[in-house]
Amino acid sequence: GENVEQHPSTLSVQEGDSAVIKCTYSDSASNYFPWYKQELGKGPQLIIDIRSNVGEKKDQRIAVTLNKTAKHFSLHITETQPEDSAVYFCAASGPYNFNKFYFGSGTKLNVKP
């Protein structure tokens, strides 16, 4: 089955700096890659997603890039703010069941004021 790896597991940045989280996936048939943000005590919430027919997508301070050849995708957060502090998960849609998602292990982002 699909295997999604995520790095780093923890990331600490100064407010205003950029943060980058990277994920790799194993199955080239996967075609949908969402990113979720989980705040303490809450369920994960979608922040951005990308489908395999595009290489980059941007939404204000958040962007996601996808390299299908290398099978990796990344989340970029610019001008980080303390409220960006949370756990971020990447995911890939299952190759043989496009409604089944495989999640990375998560990145705990700490933005220091």
Q: Which residues in this chain contact other proteins in the complex, by CB under 8 A?
A: 6, 32, 34, 36, 41-46, 49, 89, 93, 97-106
DSSP notation for 14-72: ETTS-EEEEEEES-TT--EEEEEEE-TTS--EEEEEEETT-SEEEETTEEEEEETTTTE
Decide whether 73 or 101 has the Cβ nearer to other proteins: 101
| CB of residue 107 to other proteins, shortest distance in Å | 10
Tokens, residue 111: 């933005």
Decide whether 32 or 76 has the Cβ nearer to other proteins: 32
| CB of residue 16 to other proteins, shortest distance in Å | 28
Decide whether 22 or 78 has the Cβ nearer to other proteins: 22
In contact, 34 and 91? CB cutoff 8 Å: yes
How many CB atoms lie under 10 A from the CB of residue 106? Answer: 18
| CB of residue 86 to other proteins, shortest distance in Å | 13
